[in-house]
Structure 1
Amino acid sequence: MRRRVVITGMGVITPLGHSVGELFASQIEGRTAVGPISRFDASTLATTFASEVKHFDLAKYLKDATRFAHSGLNTRFALGAAQQAIADAELLDESHGDRGRIGVYLGVGEGQENFAGLINSTAAAVTSGSDRADPVRFITALRPVLDARNESEVETHTTIGHLANLFALDGPTVSCLTACAAGSQAIGEAAELIRTGDADAMVAGGSQSMLHPLGVAGFTRLSALSQRNDSPQTASRPFDLTRDGFVIGEGAGVVVLEELEHAKARGATIYAELTGYGSTADAYRMTDPHPAGKGAIRCIANALTDAGLRPIDIGYINAHGTSTAANDAMETVAIKSVFGDYAHKIPVSSSKSMLGHLIAAAGAVELVISVMAIRSGVLPPTTNYETKDPACDLDYIPNAAREVRVDHVLSNSFGFGGQNVALVMSRYRA
């Protein structure tokens, strides 16, 4: 009999709040975190706005935060979110649980300690007049520096190493980098480790910050970002006919996954059960999803099968919903393919309409929002939805939250390179 996996702790650091309660309240109220970029001078770029984490102080979460003063934001965000989740699960005390049976699985992106230091030093070298770096000069200066560096110095495993060390987690420790699907992928794979008996609990999620000149300029060159510079707060508009790209954001989302009997034995609070996980690849293009949703369809179907659910059991879909023409149309096709006529009856919304796209952190943060939707009976809206797109014809919960009791929620994450992950969260029943 397969071991059941439940969620016993949650933590987030996001542009819409540095706690789960603050984040979810902002989502229900329809607030946006999008505004002009303040971290560097983006005036020479086609996109000059983003969704920034502001007023974040790691010292609020860790006693010895100064040791991470030179770490990348990816690491600091992850540590802040992890501390919340582990404290929420009442696992900070090292005597609680066999630490050799508690591991870490995070989806983390580039921009870790060494890379972050390289970015910061290069930005400082091309700063003129103010404390802001000009993106064009920055990229010109950075290219030869990157070419001269050993690629192994750009590490993506340091974040999980810090986290395992800080919280004395001696179980399986793994990182993955599957682009925008990374946070969800880490949670799904962590659940598999618990199901197969390789761990009793896992601290899992995602973290990323690409709000530096290289990150924003790179996505701008790909024509992936919205250029609604005259109205940044309305720029992220998933499924709307006038959408013109996503809004880049940053942050971290972390959950504690636990084997059911292990959680019950120590009297842990159970927020929901992770019942389904699906993962596929499009094998199509590096920057675009398969237009017919080939990989996404199989991924969603696999997650439902894994959960032992029928399509009509799903009460809400937290969509990937990036606000790009290609993703939103493809995701709509995939949902209709899997759910048939019932697709038009399922409430669907995109948290990115308010948060922006948190890249590797997106799926983990959206899973937390999905769990809160189950527990609260309130579904967050898709904001900035004004003009119906004939290619996107589902119920996207436009502009206002909706009170609906749901027992099963599907959360989609689709990343560059055709990486697809779907997770199913269910109301916990004994």
Structure 2
Amino acid sequence: MSTADDEREPVITGIGVVAPGGVGTKQFWELLTDGRTATRTISLFDATDFRSRIAAECDFDPAAEGLSPQEVRRMDRAAQFAVVAAREAMADSGLGPGLGGVDPGRIGVSIGSAVGCTTGLEEEYVVLSDGGRRWLLDPDYAVPQLYDYMVPSTMAVEVAWECGAEGPVSLTSTGCTAGIDSMGHGAQLIREGSADIVLAGATDAPLSPITVACFDAIRATSPNNTAPESASRPFDLHRDGFVLGEGAAVMVLETKAAARRRGARGYARISGFARRSNAFHMTGLKPDGREMAEAIASALDEAEAPAGDVDYINAHGSGTRQNDRHETAAFKRSLGERAREVPVSSIKSMIGHSLGAIGSIEVAASALALHHQVVPPTANLSTPDPECDLDYVPVTAREHPMNAVLSVGSGFGGFQSAMFLRRAEAL
């Protein structure tokens, strides 16, 4: 890497999180390191008739989080999450509200989402169709914001308005890898010089009847309704599906040179990113993990890092049999013997799977792990699957010296993404 390229390496200098178990980065990190789970019986709607009636919900009060009545009326729940997370990230970065003093034309936004404004769309459909009784919908009952709900990019626009961004603004929707892919895109905008600051992250609020019904239909979610707190069990022999979640994470990215000039605290440097697709099946994964392994290898190549540099892996770890075994194979294939030496964990065991948002939430967790030198645990892992024979850090967080972390994502459609982060305390 040339000196000029090194100076434009993207650095995470601010983190904002809205997650199950608590709003804010501090509450999020405390939940993870305590090994507590935020999964429970669904309370956002009546889920009595569903096969899976559990989820990881956010205890989110938009007014308490500083959103005005007009903002609450205008924005879907997912957009509200994104704006609140963006505000925290800007404050945490030291740049303050609206990133004051920065040329607006040099500020970008990169937001990811899998299902967009699902909550608002379903609520409006119920009203317009008179509870589903009418095939022809009456537009006279529609809220003025219905168009915004139909176009997911409006969520990125809300974040852009919040920070005054007049540079590149985009929304990435690649299913369950959208969060890590949006971070990768934001990092590339920094690296190539298209922006000096990017607010990057993802948001999803998929906890609605239509989403739960869809995953019920393919039997992908856990039916462990009697013990929701232990239902998400990645890498455990007795796992029976993933647990839906919701949330958002937004981070401030800027060049290493800019962060150094203003004496900013750096959580992590984004040194490598890559993604692949398996061109195989909409929901299926091949057991050899080849596509994820290739994404990992490519991310390490971009970072000019050997496998031995990986000190911790923040896994996708959804808690489905095919994903957990696919990931295990991918780590062995890409890292060789190093895979058996590196701690691996899945935070979905505690906060569920928030679809497109989870990739950014996991990058935030990875950056915090580097910053605090602590590996979050895999909660509920009591009986390891013999085919998942790596160090999955069961139940209890672990202090562990780390200079670099690998975060990976996997999504329906065959999407596989990997991001390599390095420590950034010394910029």
Match of 2:226 among 218, 230, 233: 230
CA positional deviation for 1:38: 0.6
Matched, 1:395 2:399: no
Partners in 2 of 1:418 and 1:392 — Cα distance? 21
Aligned residues: 414
Matched, 1:83 2:87: yes
The code of the aligned residue for 1:166 comes to: E
Aligned to 1:11: 16
Matched, 1:120 2:123: yes
Question: Is the partner of 1:255 in helix, strand or coil?
Answer: strand
TM-score, normalising length from structure 2? 0.92
The code of the aligned residue for 2:10 comes to: V
Q: Superposition pairs for residues 17-416 of structure 1, below 5 Å?
A: 17-54=22-59, 56-62=60-66, 64=68, 66-91=70-95, 92-112=97-117, 116-123=119-126, 154-416=150-412
Question: Is the partner of 1:163 in helix, strand or coil?
Answer: helix
Distance 1:142 1:333, change over 3 A: farther
The code of the aligned residue for 2:358 comes to: A
Distance 1:287 1:420, change over 3 A: same
Unmatched 5+ stretches in structure 2: none
Contact 1:11 1:255 in 2 (8 A): yes
Partners in 2 of 1:278 and 1:142 — Cα distance? 46
Question: Is the partner of 1:88 in helix, strand or coil?
Answer: helix
Partners in 1 of 2:181 and 2:322 — Cα distance? 22
Partners in 1 of 2:312 and 2:286 — Cα distance? 24
Question: Is the partner of 2:252 in helix, strand or coil?
Answer: strand
CA positional deviation for 1:291: 2.4
The code of the aligned residue for 1:224 comes to: A
Partners in 1 of 2:149 and 2:320 — Cα distance? 33
The code of the aligned residue for 1:350 comes to: S
- Larger CA deviation: 232-241 vs 263-272: 263-272
Residues 266-307 of structure 1: CA deviation (Å, up to 9, x unaligned): 332212211111111111111122322121011011111111
Contact 2:116 2:149 in 1 (8 A): no
Question: Is the partner of 1:332 in helix, strand or coil?
Answer: helix
Distance 1:424 1:141, change over 3 A: farther
Contact 1:61 1:83 in 2 (8 A): no
Partners in 1 of 2:283 and 2:213 — Cα distance? 16
Question: Is the partner of 2:293 in helix, strand or coil?
Answer: helix
Contact 1:202 1:258 in 2 (8 A): yes
Question: Is the partner of 2:243 in helix, strand or coil?
Answer: coil
CA positional deviation for 1:153: 7.0
TM-score, normalising length from structure 1? 0.91
Distance 1:63 1:251, change over 3 A: closer
Partners in 1 of 2:331 and 2:129 — Cα distance? 47
Contact 1:110 1:154 in 2 (8 A): no
Question: Is the partner of 1:109 in helix, strand or coil?
Answer: coil
Residues 147-187 of structure 1: CA deviation (Å, up to 9, x unaligned): xx999972111101111112211111011101110010000
Partners in 2 of 1:208 and 1:274 — Cα distance? 23
Contact 2:12 2:253 in 1 (8 A): yes
- RMSD (CA atoms): 2.2
Distance 1:304 1:141, change over 3 A: farther
CA positional deviation for 1:207: 0.2
Contact 1:49 1:232 in 2 (8 A): yes
The code of the aligned residue for 2:350 comes to: M
Identity in percent: 39
CA positional deviation for 1:72: 1.2
Distance 1:346 1:36, change over 3 A: same
The code of the aligned residue for 2:71 comes to: R
- Larger CA deviation: 364-373 vs 88-97: 88-97
Question: Is the partner of 1:43 in helix, strand or coil?
Answer: coil
Distance 1:241 1:151, change over 3 A: farther
Partners in 1 of 2:402 and 2:277 — Cα distance? 29
Partners in 2 of 1:362 and 1:337 — Cα distance? 24
